[in-house]
């Protein structure tokens, strides 16, 4: 008797499982890369917003410094800001930003309040990577030596 060999059609269960495992590994790697990219994008947005605020603060100061009087730090509330006329969008729409005066000196700092960084350790890591070259400080440091943390906020010298 002659055995008739049937043509094999389709994939075996083992082959299908191997393909599914490989796809799962690749998808997991993509999620790790995408998460890191998101943190870097958020950190870049924060630095860009601080630069815009710095420029607006300098314009605000320049408009008021000619009078000879001491120029007060611009006020920033949840709904409006003295800097709004100098920016392309309202500061209150950008997030939890503020303008503060130095404790010892009369320098002004623009910053993102610490509450906005809570739970964003990846963003904080990216901010720490670029803080020296971007001139960023934490709330307790004016020399850019302390690490920015989730509880410190991030600031840039404006004036």
Whether 123 shows a pLDDT value over 90: the answer reads no
Question: Please, how many CA atoms are within 13 Å of residue 51, restricted to the half-sphere of its CB?
Answer: 8
Whether 147 shows a pLDDT value over 70: the answer reads no
Chain-centre distance of CA 13, in angstroms? 46
| b/e 110-131 (16+ beta carbons within 10 angstroms → b) | bbbbbebbeebeebbebbbeeb
pLDDT, tens only, 13-71: 999 999 999 999 999 888 877 777 888 899 999 999 999 999 999 999 888 887 777 78
Single pTM value for the model: 0.72
Does residue 66 or residue 85 have the better pLDDT? 85
Locate 117 and state its tokens: 């960084």
Residue 159 pLDDT grade (very low, low, confident, very high; cuts 50, 70, 90): confident
Residue 129 pLDDT grade (very low, low, confident, very high; cuts 50, 70, 90): confident
Q: Contact, 121 vs 43, CB < 8 A?
A: no
């Amino acid at each position: 008797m002659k055995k008739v060999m049937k043509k094999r059609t389709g994939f075996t269960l083992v082959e299908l499982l191997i393909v599914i495992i490989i796809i799962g590994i690749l998808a997991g790697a993509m999620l790790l890369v995408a998460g890191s990219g998101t943190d870097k994008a958020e950190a870049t947005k924060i630095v860009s917003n601080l630069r815009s605020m710095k420029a607006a603060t300098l314009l605000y100061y320049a408009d008021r410094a000619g009078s000879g009087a001491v120029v007060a730090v611009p006020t920033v509330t949840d709904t409006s800001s003295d800097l709004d006329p100098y920016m392309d969008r309202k500061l209150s729409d950008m997030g939890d930003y503020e303008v503060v005066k130095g404790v010892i000196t009369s320098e002004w700092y623009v910053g993102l309040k610490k509450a906005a960084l809570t739970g964003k350790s990846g963003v904080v890591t990216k901010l720490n990577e670029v803080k020296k070259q971007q001139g960023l400080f934490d709330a307790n440091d004016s020399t850019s030596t302390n690490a920015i943390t989730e509880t410190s906020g991030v600031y840039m010298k404006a004036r």
